Each structure stands twice: as C-alpha cells, then as structure tokens.
A and B are shown apart, each in its own frame.
Chain A
Amino acid sequence: MSAIASPGPSGGQPGVGAAAMPQPGAVPMRSGRRGAELAMLLFAIAVVLFAYASVGLGLNGRVPSGIATYGLPFAALMIGAHLAVRRFAPWADPLMLPLAGMLNGLGIVMMYRLQEVGRNGNPGTLSVPLSTSATFIQIVYSAIGIAGFVAVLAIIREPRTLQRYTYTFGAIGLVLLALPALLPARFSQVANTGAKIQVAVGGFSIQPAEFAKLALAVFFAGYLVAKRDVLSLAGRRFLGIDMPRGRDLGPVLIAWAASLLILVFETDIGTSALFFGMFLVMLYVATQRTSWLLIGTGLFLSGALAASRLIPHVAERFTVWLHPFAGNNPSHSSYQLVQGLYGLGYGGVLGTGLGHGQPYWTPLVQSDFIITAFGEELGITGLMAILLIYGLIVQRGLRAAIAVRDPFSKLLAGGLAVVLALQVFIIVGGVTRLIPLTGITTPWLSQGGSSLVGSWMMIALLMRVSDTARRPAPQPIQDEGMTQVVRAG
C-alpha cells in the first residue's frame, strides 16, 4: 500500500527527458509486461475456480458439476480480455486486468453460493431469492462488461480524443443521472427502498448512474482542464488559505446543487456523495487549491445534515448508524445492518469457509451487503484481501495518472481512481458501520449488470491512460538529422 503514497516517475515510464533527448539505438523496446499480466490472470482464474469448488464442497461435499459450465466461460472471458489488451493497449498496466478479473470472478462465485441458498437441501432463505439462473446471468453480464472493456480499448485509442467531446459527455452524464428522477417511481424506484436510481422496463433494469459516473468524469476532466487557470486564481486569504474569487464559485455551486437534487429527488445519499466527491477531487487536482476541497466538503456536509433533518429516509440512516442495537432497532430499522454485522462477527478472523456460513439472514446480501457475505465466509482475512485488491486497483490508477503527461488524461485517470476508492469506502464503510449506510453497488462483486459493465469500462479507461503513459517514446528517424518526428502522446 505504501506505493500509493510514493509513486515516483522511476516506475519505468518514459520520462520527459527521454523523449527530448533520445539516445539513438540505445533505447531498447521495454516490455509491456503482458506476460506478467497473463501469469497473474491465470493465477486469478485459478483462485476463482478453487473458490467455486470450495463453495460446492462446503455446501454438498461435492465439487459442483457446473465448474466447467461456469468456470470455463469465465476463464475464456478473461483470456479474451487479455488478448484484447495485447492488441489494443500493449503498454497498459499489467496488474489492473488480473485484479479486476479476480473481483469479477469472486462475485460470480458468491452469486452461485447465494443462488444455492434454500436449494438442493442447503439451508436458509433469502429475503429476495435469487433465480436458478442468477449465476448464469452474472456471467452474461460479465461478458457484456468485457465487451464494453474491449470496446473502450478499441474505440478510444488516445484518451485525449475524449476531450473533444467534453460537453457531449456532460450532457449525456446529466441526462443519465436525471433520468430516474424524472421517470415515474414505478420505473425508477428500487423495490422496498425509497431510492429512485434505476430505469426498469419489464424484468430488465439498468442503473444509469453507473454510466453517468464515467461520462461525468470525462466532462469534469475536459471542463476543468480548460478552466483550471481561472479557477486557481487566488482571492482573499482566509485562515491562512487562499480562497477562490467569489465569481469563480459558480461551477462548484452548480455541482453542489446537482448533488442535492439527486439527494432530494432520488433520495440516494450514496450516489450524491459519490458524484460530488468526484467533482471536488478533480477540481482540487486541477487547481491544486485546498480551499476548494474545504469549501466543497463544507457545502456537502451542511447539505447532508439538512437532509438528515428534513428527509425521513436520510434521517433514519443516521439513527441506524448511531444506534443500531438500541431498543427494537435491531428487528426493525437497523435489521439489515445488524444482520450484516452479525455475519461479520460470526465469520471472525478466518471465516466459516465458503458455503459454511449463513449469509442468507442479511436482506439483500447479494447486492449492497455482498461484502458482509465475504466477511462471514472468508473472515477478516478474506475481507482484507478484497479491500487490498481494490486498494491496488486505485493505486495503479493513480500511478497511471501521475505518469501520464497530458493534463486531461491525468485528471480523468485521477478522478476515476479516486471515485473507485470513494465508492468502496462508502459501501464497505456503510455495511461495516464506519459511516452511515447508503446503498450503492460494490464494484464487480454486487449482483447486477450496470455496475459490472460500468466498472469494466472504467478499468478500460484507466488501462488506456496507463498504456499512453507507459508507451515508449517513438524512435527518432535516424536519417533525418536533427529533425525528430515525435508521435503524439
């Protein structure tokens, strides 16, 4: 983890100097480390297949018969993704694909484990039972996710090309974000919650916020790169910090208002915090002004506090967070949180083992609370491993952001990496009672296609940026004397 704090430019990226002063003939083609990626990917696939076998052994004492039907497609998808990376982003970071693939695979394994609850003589009942095809559907979503991953890598060959569509992506992002709020509740409300965050037609639903996240990251990056000089102008000094000029407060106020609108109309504090957090972080990275972070955090906290007073749904979240075991809360308002905590406590240090726990007591364990199922069956050991996988993805993303030279790509990668960290923090912190619980998906693990596809597309963007950053400088054409043709990038 310490590497997050100190990613130097020594990590093998071509430095500016190398491009400016090439040593003709002396620069060997450095490896894109695709072989390492494949090795680690095979290791991740092996871990997932073992986990899958372990579920079957834990439940029925037999290796599940579906190990071929579920395991082989997953392995094929991962290998396919790897080949696509070889083709379209040969210099991309070799760790991201195995890390994301491992999470995706573990999510499929847990989906199979939860699908077996109450079936084939296995104990328990889920509050919202999974269909017998839940695992299969999750694999289909994984396939769509990998398709999105490959598509992003294939279509976007240079991250900077996205900058041209800054406002297009801004409009797309806003529409996606606002869609559930504008639609009638019967299309957009998630069953048994107050949250209006999906678009459901028939039995099929997508959560547009997962894609809005990506579109808005592109928009913020493009917008802030253009405006960062103005936004970083200092105004008055206040408490030793340079405050921005009053007239420049517009964008942050608009973003804040938008996040509050999400909060009010979609009653979804998690998504609201995620988007506003992403905007703030990118604003801070673009301007390097701490004051923006302070102003933004202050605005968000006051907004959230007001919401906790005014919106019952939000107020209840705070009560549940502060007093989950008080009075009859455990059997009513905090039932889900408390059941999740019981599961974590029941798992203890080493966990019950896959298939041996009782994660089915926790309502919606297959979506928002999936991390408690891992904590219960794999123990704190497994939970920490999963958190470290997320941490590594974030670190690799930030490393790509630091290494890449173009400011737009820097902002985009930095924003995406931090928003992943924020999302993991909000949902894992929520179910482990570190912060108030807000229902957002756990990337790659939760049931559902939107999150899976969105997460894979995000990884594709990060890998695209890292590919740009790690791509060796073009070789000078020797015969043209002092004139060098430098390929863009």
Chain B
Amino acid sequence: MNHALRRMSLACLVLFLLLLINANYVQAFQAGSLANDPLNSRTFAQQYQYQRGPIITSDGKTAAASRHISGVYSYQRYYPYGAMYAPVTGYDSLYSATGIEQAENRFLSGSDPQLAVRNLIDLITGKPKKGATVQLTINSAAQRAAYQALRLSGRASGAVAIQPSTGAILALASYPSFDPNKLAVLSGARLNRNDRRLLNDPRQPLLNRAINQSFPPGSTFKVVTSSAAFSSGKYPSPNTEVFAPTNLKLPNTSKQLINFDNLPCGNGGGRVPMIYAFTVSCNTAFGNIGMKVGGSALRQQADKFGMNDPNLKIPLPVSQSNFPPVSDPALTAYSGIGQYNDTVTPLQEAMFSAAIANNGTLMRPFLVQKVTAPDLTPLVNTQPSVLSQAVSADTASKVESMMVNVTQKPYGTAYQSAGPPATSIQIAAKTGTAQNGINNTGLDDAVFTCFAPVGNPQIAVGVVVKGGGLGADASAPIAVKIIEAYLSSQGKQ
C-alpha cells in the first residue's frame, strides 16, 4: 500500500502546488486590475478611513472638506455651499467622483507620487494620512453672485467669469444644480436613491451647463465675425461703412436675412458704419461681412478663440464649442451672426471677451490655483499660459471700442441693462438672442459676453440663459451682478 500512498503524496503535492500557483496568479498578476476594478468598493472606501484634502476658493472659503464622524467610516465629505459649487467641485461618492474631486483625486486622496514620501513618514511616525489641499481660482463673491443670479432667472443657464490677464476662472456656475452632500452619503442604499432621483430629474441638475453644454451664440458671435473682418484687412476700422440693408438677399436661395423684429439698420439707407451695426446688432450687416470674409476665415478666427477644440481641460473636460466648416455663402451669412450650426459653451462666451480684453491674447482657462501638501509644501502652482493669440492687439482695441458702445451708447443693445442706467462700472459687451427650435418657434436663448472695467479689464464674463429671451434682458443683468460682486470684493469698484 505504500506505493499507492506515495502516489497520493504526489497527488496532494500537485493539489497544493495548484493552489499556490493560482494564489500567486490572483494576488500578484491580477492584483492590479482587481484592486482598480471600478466595482471594487475597497479602493474607493479606503478614502473614508482618512482625511481627504479640502477644496478651497482663492479667498480661502471651503468648498469641500472631510469631517470626522463616528460610525463605520471615519470621515465624510461635506460641501458647505451645497449646489453653489457643485459644477466646480463635483461630488465624491462611495462609488464614483466628478468635477475637481475626480480631476484632482490623486492629490485630494494623497495617492500622488509626490506625496508618497510624506505618507511613508506619516506611517512611521504614526500620524494619520491626510490628503493635499486644492486651492481653486474661484472667487467666492463672484461664485455666489453667479449662482444666485442664475437661480433667480429660474431657467436652465450657465455663467463663467475669467480673469482676462491670466485665464484664472473666477466663477463657474450652472443652474439647475444639485447638492453634492446628497451624493456624499455613506449609505449605499441612500446614495443609490439620491443618485437615481438626480439622474431621472428632467431638469438635468447633474449637467454642468457652464462647460458641458453648448448653445447657439447668436449675435455674440459678431465679436468673432468683427475680429475676422478687421484681421482680413477688408474692413480697416470700426468706422468703415458697411452694407446694411433691411433685407439681405442671400445667394442661391429664396430666403432673406432680416434684422431683429424685421427692423431697418440705421435709417434704412443701406450703409452704416460698422461700429453702429455692431452697437445695434444688425444681422444684415454682419451676414454680409460674414460672406465677404468667407467661411474658412471665420472658422480660422473661431479656432483662434478656442472653438473646435475637443481637448480643452480646466482640468475638468470642457465640451467642444463648434464652428463646423461652412462654404455655402448663404449659410456663411447665417454663421456670421451665430445662427447656423455653430454652438458655444458659457465658458467659450467668456473666452471671447477675455481675449479681446487681454489685447487679443487668449490665456488658457484654469480652475486650480495651487495644491498644497498637508505640511504646507506647495506641490502645484499653476502658471498662466497662453492658449492662442486670438487677434492682434490692434484688432482687439477696435473690437473693444465697438463693445464699449454696446453699453455706453443710448442706442446700444445693452445700454439699459449693462450701461450707465444699470451700473457705474464701464462694461464692454455684446448681446445675443439666439433663435431656437424648429422654425424658430422655441423661446430664444439669451446670451451675453462682456468684460470690465474698460481700460483695466479685471473680469470677463459669459452667460447663457436657455429660453431667457433677449440677451440684454435676461443675461446682461446676471453678468453685471457677477462683475459688481467680484470688483467690490477686490475693492476696486
């Protein structure tokens, strides 16, 4: 029987070898993919065992932080301002994260290699592991003004404010928004319930309208068309007289381009200075300029303002603002007034004005000012960088002079809402009222792009209110509130 027993010993050896090999396969070879599997709650739940780094505004207000709790988890994420900062911070839930919580997770969670040595020291000295602090470029006064103004409008809307000289994003708001605290709950069942409610909400509160939804720019696109016109050399100055009929006959179609409410441009004489056409927002004049400059030049100019870029990150991924190639002259005319198939995000609207305000240089927009380790050593300090030279300084000053008239001339489209009757701050702006829906039966989108103060631009703002009607009525007051809040917080009103 010993012979059979020895064979059985061999068989047992094989069984144990199989177990050992398989254990090595699972725990060494598959370990990485298993540990990082999106469904592996361990990796995600780990962060609730120590203090995740806070997210603070440029002026030191806390937008997101982890507080110690008693119970099964040691820490819970909380968002003191609720929905106001949701488009910026995003949320950090048991299962997933969005916004800055996701984009800067490696710093907030402390897993970045730059923090490895400190974590090791903390481990040895027995100090609890902590995440790094992410400081935003957001100004709390501007953010509050932006969110409250959007909420007051009651419509789906987004607003972004940029510092033109650096690209630092001062405010980034979206409405309707959501309370990230509802997704920071530590009960899976409650989380699923709250998540489902948000996902099924027809008002789409989870959609970040400031950077992830694009709208027709309407007449605000005339900033781009004007820039292309000046850059082309065909239109030397704002005072150049341009063709501005009451009805612009379009080639190869029976359609005619008309002005808002079918009004004549100027006195109906058919020719006006370009600055006048801009100030009162004549469609026929800019439709004609669009055709004269040509679709490809318009597209090139749009690209220089940052459009058609699918890879822009602030570091949140920004949806592309579109200006598709157009060659048909009639469609080019519509493109020239922002009413063909071009669409822009509120961020892009702010970038139009930011480039003009910064002498034609478009700075790369960014949301994270710096990242600081728990021991206060700086890990990241964002240096402003140039995204593109949108227009020459000369062209920028010409466009600026026209944008100033929009608010400062009594006949300008934004005189009442963003001019002297509304505010003492000198604002340079362009309004847009984008038609919508099949046969333009939908409510118009109200669009507004501006910067202020003229002469020393501190802030550029883009606002879109979906279905808001006239840009001057619905969007301009929101931009004015953001500007006033920001400048007063800087003590420069």
Contact = CB atoms under 8 A, between A and B. Distances in A.
A220 interface: no
A251 interface: no
A55 to B, nearest CB: 16
A375 B34 CA distance: 13
A418 B6 contact: no
Given A123-B48, A124-B72, A330-B39, A349 B27 contact: yes
A4 B4 contact: no
A342 interface: yes
B19 A429 contact: yes
A391 B37 CA distance: 32
A394 B12 contact: yes
A361 B42 contact: yes
A14 interface: no
Nearest to B41: A361
B31 interface: yes
A118 B23 contact: no
Nearest to B15: A425
A417 B12 CA distance: 9
Interface stretch (A44-52, A161-169, A279-287): A279-287
A125 interface: yes
Nearest to A342: B40
Interface residues of A, number: 62
A72 B135 CA distance: 53
A19 interface: no
Interface stretch (A84-92, A173-181, A380-388, A451-459): A380-388
Contacts of A257: none
A129 to B, nearest CB: 11
A395 B32 contact: no
B122 to A, nearest CB: 13
B9 A5 contact: yes
Contacts of A123: 45, 48-49, 72-74
A285 B8 contact: yes
Interface string A105-123: 0000000000000100111
Given A121-B74, A288-B4, A379-B27, A348 B35 contact: yes
Contact of B27 (A118, A331, A344, A422): A344
Interface in A1-25: 1-2, 4-7
Contact of A284 (B4, B16, B31, B34): B4
B490 interface: no
A432 B40 contact: no
B20 interface: yes
B27 A7 contact: no
B4 to A, nearest CB: 4
B8 A345 contact: no
Contacts of B46: 358
Interface residues of B, number: 46
A411 B1 contact: yes
A338 interface: yes
Residue picked from B34, B41, B49, most chain A C-beta under 10 Å? B34
B455 interface: no
A26 B195 CA distance: 84
Contacts of A421: 12, 15-16
A486 interface: no
Contacts of A345: 26-27, 30-35, 37, 40
Contacts of B124: none
A418 B12 CA distance: 7
Contacts of B37: 342, 345
Contacts of B13: 1-2, 4-5, 391
A301 to B, nearest CB: 16
Nearest to B24: A380
A410 B1 contact: yes
A414 B8 contact: yes
A296 interface: no
Given A421-B12, A433-B26, A358 B5 contact: no
B23 A387 contact: yes
Nearest to A289: B4
A281 B7 CA distance: 10
A390 interface: yes
Contact of A342 (B5, B6, B23, B42): B42
A69 B132 CA distance: 42
Nearest to B34: A345
B45 A288 contact: no
A270 to B, nearest CB: 15
| Chain B CB within 10 Å, residue with most, of A345, A384, A395 | A345
Contacts of B3: 288
A402 B10 CA distance: 13
B45 to A, nearest CB: 6
B12 A383 contact: no
B381 interface: no
B126 interface: yes
B70 interface: yes
B382 interface: no
Contacts of A281: 8
B2 interface: yes
B42 A331 contact: no
Contact of B70 (A1, A61, A121, A286): A121
A331 B19 contact: no
B327 interface: no
Interface string B60-82: 00000000001111100000000
29 contacts: A4-B12, A5-B6, A7-B6, A121-B71, A121-B74, A124-B72, A125-B72, A288-B4, A338-B39, A342-B37, A342-B39, A343-B42, A345-B27, A345-B32, A346-B42, A357-B42, A358-B42, A358-B45, A383-B23, A384-B20, A388-B16, A391-B16, A402-B2, A418-B11, A421-B12, A422-B15, A424-B15, A425-B16, A434-B18
Interface of B: 1-6, 8-13, 15-20, 22-24, 26-28, 30-35, 37, 39-43, 45-46, 48-49, 70-74, 126
**Which are the 4 A-B pairs with shortest beta-carbon distances?**
A345-B34, A380-B27, A421-B12, A342-B40
Interface of A: 1-2, 4-7, 61, 118, 121-125, 281, 284-286, 288, 330-331, 338, 341-349, 357-358, 361, 375, 379-380, 383-384, 387-388, 390-391, 394-395, 398, 401-402, 407, 410-411, 414, 417-418, 421-422, 424-425, 428-429, 432-434
